[in-house]
Structure 1
Amino acid sequence: MNLLKEMTAAGPGCAIANGLLNCFETTKVKLQLHNPSSPVYTVPTTRGVMTQIAQEEGIVRGLLTPGLSASLTRSVLYGAYRVGLYSSVRSALSGLNGDDDDNIGTDSTNITFTTRLLSGMITGGIGSLLSCPLDVVRTRMQADSGLIHKNIYTTGLRKGQAVRYTGMMSAFYTILKEEGLQRGLYRGSSVTVARASVLNGAQLATYDTMKQYLGWEEGPILHSFCALLSGIVAQTVIMPMDTVKSQMMLGHSWKDVYHCIIQRRNGALLYLYRGWIPASCGQSLIMVLQMPMIEEFRRLLVVEAI
């Protein structure tokens, strides 16, 4: 019953946070896929892209709603697994590793960082594997977004091209029909799952460890501060994988991060960290909104804090 409560508390919290900050995810994808040889955005920076999109398409249509239906659906499923299962997996692994798990929860001071990291990686990997098709659909919808006239995009990365998807279900059906399950809805799944494992491990291990290190009273201030730090740390760690993941989901030829570095020996680092500012802002703000809400839902459901 506790496990069900933990998953129930995590899903809605993740969905609300991701939905409110969808503009950063949209901007990140646009920046990652922007082609300098045929530029769409006059100033290819976070501020420049967001400003141009807002001017051309409007704030709501251009920044807040692209891929939102897929993002919310994914967040509920992914969040329930990646955050909801974390405490239980941490408890199980702490016993296997010989850590002191007599007081699992906020007083579990003897649980090692490695155990926390591994716990987050396991739950993140499971959640990502199950929600990968939704991630592909969300990325495609955000990349394709723009104003449409007579079924042709007049703005955005696909300016001058025909509309491919009319909504989330249309994207699912079209991708499955034209590209199949493995090459379509699970395109780039190896990078996606690896990214999610590392991201979730870094996020939750940093968040959990900082809570223990600071020793402050449980509450919104502690949760928000630790969440902010965990978001910055996690996004910095996984940014290269994030960039490659977006490229692979759009059908780019990169096989993995290593392949990208080999192909772009001189500019690989800058290329892999394109979109870091909006990604870090989005990740940090998502965590700051997400974790206090999840902790509050856990409190209301009479479940110990993470």
Structure 2
Amino acid sequence: MSGAMAVKENSAPSKVNSGGSIPPGSLPRSVNFLLGGTAGCGAVFVTQPLDLIKNRMQLSGEGGANRVHKTSFHALVRIVRTEGFFALYNGLSAGLFRQATYSTTRLGVYQSLFDRFSSSDGRPPGVLTKIAFGMIAGATGALIGTPAEISLIRMTSDGRLPPSEQRGYKNVFDALARISREEGLGTLWRGCGPTVLRAMVVNAAQLATYSQAKQFLLTTSYFVDDIKCHFGSSMISGLVTTLVSMPVDIAKTRIQTMKTVDGVPEYNGSMDVWKQLVRKEGIFSLWKGFTPYYARLGPHTVLTFIFLEQFRRLYYDYYVRNK
């Protein structure tokens, strides 16, 4: 997603829409952080059900045969039938809190670095530099957002457990408080390693593929720098990012939801998750939940980008350009 902002300044003049590009450094640093989080929160209202289905698919197979979801559609039907339609929005408060922490930090850090290292004439940094910025921003956001991520994973997966084993968190703040009290403060950062790794992989993949996809689309006669181009570039970026990051995401999900029995954790890190998955369920289990993951990542990237660009444009037009 962060690559979307970077590519905009690279577009050829004849292909830029009438609003023009926002010069690097035009918006205050605090505004970049605020708008990044706001855009992410707006997108999560649409993508939360897909995130829940993705998490259920990744945990499918744990807890017995009756917890197996054959396909994403099968998971959707079973959730609605057994838990009700609004169960698709279980964990919404955690999803919003995650965006308020992770996305605010990630997008704010990226834009701040992007502005800082753009040349005085407005020329953006090179591709490798932008990839490095994306990885730094992703890692920083993941460190801050891991507690919200753990709450989100647990709240969206709670319905798959037998009633006697469900945690029953009321909201994200109840989840954070109970996890700290019942399992120790350090549990809020369980799986922080794979979470940070996933964030770095996702940001690097999104940045590189979005940039290249948009650059290619703008060389054709069918696209200009508008929402249609952003949508196409984001979906291509989402596909590549999904393929690359899903094994890391599955390891993160399983580690964050695992139980410790008699002091022995279920998994001993990402490598152990991958080994057990491949041995028990086959190599393609590393991409279990691919459809909802991609269906979420693509629209979430598109929506976040559209919201962010509109918010930045409004702020620039009303508070910067007219000064």
Compare 218-227 and 84-93 and name the one that shifted more.
Answer: 84-93
Q: Is the 8 A contact 1:207 1:226 kept in 2?
A: yes
Aligned to 2:274: 261
Identity among equivalent pairs (%): 28
Q: 1:166 aligns with which of 170, 175, 182?
A: 170
Whole-Å Cα distance in 1 between the matches of residues 58 and 310 of structure 2?
35
SS at match of 2:233: helix
**Cα distance change on mapping 1:214 and 1:84 into 2, 3 Å:** farther
Aligned to 2:99: 75
Whole-Å Cα distance in 2 between the matches of residues 8 and 36 of structure 1?
39
Once the 2 structures are TM-superposed, how far is the Cα of residue 47 of structure 1 from its aligned partner?
0.6
Question: Which has the larger share of helix?
Answer: 2
Q: Is the 8 A contact 1:40 1:157 kept in 2?
A: no
Whole-Å Cα distance in 2 between the matches of residues 248 and 14 of structure 1?
25
Whole-Å Cα distance in 2 between the matches of residues 167 and 37 of structure 1?
24
Q: 2:109 aligns with which of 80, 85, 88?
A: 85
Whole-Å Cα distance in 2 between the matches of residues 7 and 290 of structure 1?
13
Check if 1:241 corresponds to 2:245: no
Check if 1:190 corresponds to 2:214: no
Task: Summarize deviations over 1:30-64 as a string: whole Å, max 9, x none.
Answer: 111122671235642101000111122222x221x
Q: 2:236 aligns with which of 218, 229, 236?
A: 229
Count, aligned residues: 281
Q: Is the 8 A contact 1:120 1:200 kept in 2?
A: yes
SS at match of 1:255: coil
Aligned to 1:62: 87
Aligned to 1:16: 42
**Cα distance change on mapping 1:226 and 1:103 into 2, 3 Å:** farther
Q: How does 1:1-306 map to 2 (within 5 A)?
A: 2-35=28-61, 38-41=64-67, 43-59=69-85, 61-63=86-88, 65-92=89-116, 101-104=119-122, 108=124, 111-145=125-159, 156-182=160-186, 184-215=187-218, 217-251=224-258, 253-266=266-279, 267-302=281-316
Whole-Å Cα distance in 2 between the matches of residues 256 and 250 of structure 1?
13
Which amino acid in 1 is paired with 2:135? Answer: M
Whole-Å Cα distance in 1 between the matches of residues 68 and 270 of structure 2?
28
Once the 2 structures are TM-superposed, how far is the Cα of residue 132 of structure 1 from its aligned partner?
0.8
Which amino acid in 1 is paired with 2:177? Answer: Y
Task: Summarize deviations over 1:268-304 as a string: whole Å, max 9, x none.
Answer: 5222111111101111111121111111111111189
Q: Is the 8 A contact 1:21 1:282 kept in 2?
A: yes
Whole-Å Cα distance in 2 between the matches of residues 138 and 165 of structure 1?
10
Q: Is the 8 A contact 1:41 1:48 kept in 2?
A: no
Whole-Å Cα distance in 1 between the matches of residues 248 and 268 of structure 2?
11
Once the 2 structures are TM-superposed, how far is the Cα of residue 172 of structure 1 from its aligned partner?
1.1
**Cα distance change on mapping 1:72 and 1:82 into 2, 3 Å:** same
The TM-score with structure 2 as length reference comes to 0.79
**Cα distance change on mapping 1:262 and 1:74 into 2, 3 Å:** closer
Q: Is the 8 A contact 1:240 1:257 kept in 2?
A: no
SS at match of 1:165: coil
Which amino acid in 1 is paired with 2:165? Answer: Q
Q: Is the 8 A contact 2:32 2:112 kept in 1?
A: no
Whole-Å Cα distance in 1 between the matches of residues 55 and 230 of structure 2?
28
The TM-score with structure 1 as length reference comes to 0.83
- Structure 1's unaligned 5+ residue stretches are 95-100, 146-155
Whole-Å Cα distance in 2 between the matches of residues 251 and 242 of structure 1?
14
Which amino acid in 2 is paired with 1:236? Answer: L
Q: Is the 8 A contact 2:69 2:75 kept in 1?
A: yes
Which amino acid in 2 is paired with 1:13? Answer: A
**Cα distance change on mapping 1:42 and 1:129 into 2, 3 Å:** closer
Aligned to 2:21: none
Q: Is the 8 A contact 1:81 1:126 kept in 2?
A: yes
